[in-house]
Amino acid sequence: MKSIKLAAAALNQTPLDWDGNVSHILAAIEQARDEHVHVLCCPELCITGYGCEDAFLARGVHETALEMLAEIIPATKSMVVCVGLPVSFEGNLYSAAAVIVDGALIGFAVKQNLAGDGLHYEPRWFTAWETGRVAEFLFNGTSYPLGDLIFQCSDVRIGFEICEDAWVADRPGGRLAARGVDVILNLSASHFAFGKHQVRQQFILEATREFEVAYVYANLLGNEAGRAIYDGDAMIASGGEMFASGPRFCYRDCVLTSAVVDVVAAETTGAAQQSAPTGVVCCEVEFLAGDASCNEVVRSEWEDSSHLKEEEFARAIALGLFDYLRKSSSRGFVVSLSGGADSAAVATLVALMVQFSEQDIGAVELAARLRLNLSNCKLADPADSKAVVKQVTHELLWCVYQTTRNSTDVTHSAAESVADGLGAMFCTIDVDSLVTDYTQKVSDILSRTLQWETDDLALQNIQARVRAPSVWMLANVRGALLLATSNRSEAAVGYTTMDGDTCGGIAPIAGIDKAFLRHWLKWMETTGPQGLCPVSELQQINAQQPTAELRPVGENQTDESDLMPYEVLDSIERLAIRDKMMPREILEVLVTDSVVVSRRADRRQVIEWIKRFFTLWSRNQWKRERFAPSFHVDDENLDPKTWCRFPILSGGFRRELEQLK
């Protein structure tokens, strides 16, 4: 038996940020050396960034990645380091792991299975490597083995599963085990989704039991390229036991997780005769004994909470906003705070971003990362974390309530109360005169007065649209990001005004359904994330029925009276879009659904809801095409650019809906 210290680095990378990405890799190597790590695994494509999209097709990107690799190699003295990068070979592009030992490159292991569903479009840029194939790759005048390789470092054999390799039924791990591998390294770029941590943990532990290996899993961290959020999951396991697990949703650029494991040393007799053509690359490196007392499974209290989904949602979106803000070089956020659930949720998530980041990296680093001057905040005591959070939130988050004659004191009071409770800047703009001006101009053109009885939709939409220019202007003047406030339920049926409430550079909650948002806001009011205080001011939001407040006050407009109960809408959306059911199939499911039964809805009512959903879904694909980029938090996203494609023009399920009669 031999004890070796393994480590996984969670890195916050950015596509094509060569200097930044390499600096994070070098920081991980330096920290690993300080901790006497023997083998360090970094994430997939960490040199270029995973989300380079069609930039992967540029030859210059492949060439620069190799130049950056050359800069990393000398820093790896006295350890084994594996970093991910794209490698162009014989006209194809591959996702590879460069294996560096004691300051020398010794070869490239290549990904054998590509992710081509959901967020992932790897087959557009990459080619899957053929199982068992080994080739030679020329780099800086020297030939290196490339392909389905294992690396025997002294008497320890190391093999690779690169991200998707571990998610397929016929994963490479079984073949690696048959070849006597002691350690499997997994370089991953696995985006966050609810419950995904548990799935990763399961396939890692299963691998250690079935393949009898130690397993190292390294993942990306943060909002890398704009849409996907990476939780930085890093795990090290052996013998069906988790030896070390790193923290998730950190605000640091590099988080190292390490553990000492025992491996069965391979027979060294005849090892010198094994070479790249046999699929085994041999080298000598000294593995000193490690101290197993350093092993630690870091599991925050919130991960054991009965409200895990609420916690993950808060932490994922907050981290996504933090990285989007700093990587876009923006200087804050503007939210059109209506006094309703959606805008309140967006504002609350920004406030949580400040609190979580201050907890993790401290006030000074928080200010440096976001280019804030704390001296401008006029803090009585810069060491007072609560004061720092309040002042930074006030500096970063500006909330604007825009009123018309159809707005009520209830929503104005709710908006102001929430902004004050969060510590945000709050102001009110009366846009009623703008509504009147536009309405009169169009009336003059038509030679008639616009009226609610005949022009309902136009009169509603103009109120939402006139709110956009002022908040856009405020965001422009401040160099800030305007946050759109539409959710996934509204996106599904187009219950949103284009160039109105859809305005924004990023749509933080467009990937989550309204029913969960309402539930989450109640949780934030009474409980909140572990270690933080709840926001009691949300009570005024939660006490209301969701309403757009665009019709005259006396009509008592609500979202659900315009559409259907949100729980029903979300059920139909999942069945239709996620599960690909047709209207008749959905009808048979819904008539016995507990939510529908509790609403005492008869079959005729259910048919009307289904018709309304499919009609609005088909009619409003053009709106979904124009939504600002959204964050992905589960497998039910409707973003047509990365997840759910549907034609802008279609037959609208007319035949299928007719069959419901």
Tokens linked to 306: 């009965």
Q: How far apart are the first and last CA of the chain?
A: 72
The pTM assigned to this predicted structure is 0.94
Task: Inform me whether the pLDDT recorded for 292 exceeds 80.
Answer: no
Quick one: pLDDT at residue 338? 94
Task: Inform me whether the pLDDT recorded for 147 exceeds 70.
Answer: yes
530, with CB counted inside 10 A (0-12, 13-18, 19+), is: middle
Largest CA distance in the chain: 97
Residues 6+ apart with CB under 8 A from 87: 62, 66, 93, 94, 95, 96, 108, 110, 137, 146
In this prediction, residues 29-37 reach a mean pLDDT of 97
Report the C-alpha gap between 228 and 86 in whole angstroms: 20
In this prediction, residues 412-417 reach a mean pLDDT of 97
Tokens linked to 206: 């299963």
* Average pLDDT of the residues of the chain: 93
Q: Which of 410, 405, 365 is nearest to 385 (CA)?
A: 365
Quick one: pLDDT at residue 141? 95
Task: Inform me whether the pLDDT recorded for 383 exceeds 70.
Answer: no
Measure CA 393 to chain center. Answer: 22
Quick one: pLDDT at residue 531? 93
Residue 40 pairs with which residues in a beta bridge? 7, 81
| pLDDT confidence band for 382 (50 / 70 / 90) | low
In this prediction, residues 299-307 reach a mean pLDDT of 86
Place of tokens 């979300």: 570
Task: Inform me whether the pLDDT recorded for 500 exceeds 60.
Answer: yes
Residue 254 pairs with which residues in a beta bridge? 11
In this prediction, residues 526-539 reach a mean pLDDT of 96
Task: Inform me whether the pLDDT recorded for 267 exceeds 60.
Answer: no
Residue 220 pairs with which residues in a beta bridge? 11
26, with CB counted inside 10 A (0-12, 13-18, 19+), is: middle
In this prediction, residues 142-146 reach a mean pLDDT of 97
- Which DSSP string corresponds to 634-655? STT---TTTT----SS--TTHH
Q: What percent of the chain has pLDDT over 70?
A: 95
In this prediction, residues 54-78 reach a mean pLDDT of 97
Map out the domains of the chain with their CATH numbers: 2-299 (3.60.110.10), 304-430+510-548 (3.40.50.620), 432-466 (no CATH), 563-661 (1.10.10.1140)
- Angle 329-394-412 (CA atoms, 0-180°, nearest 5)? 115
List pLDDT tens digits, range 544-592.
988 888 888 888 888 888 999 999 999 999 999 999 999 999 999 999 8
Look up residue 506 and give its DSSP letter: B
- Contact at 8 Å (CB) between 321 and 481? no
Report the C-alpha gap between 162 and 189 in whole angstroms: 9
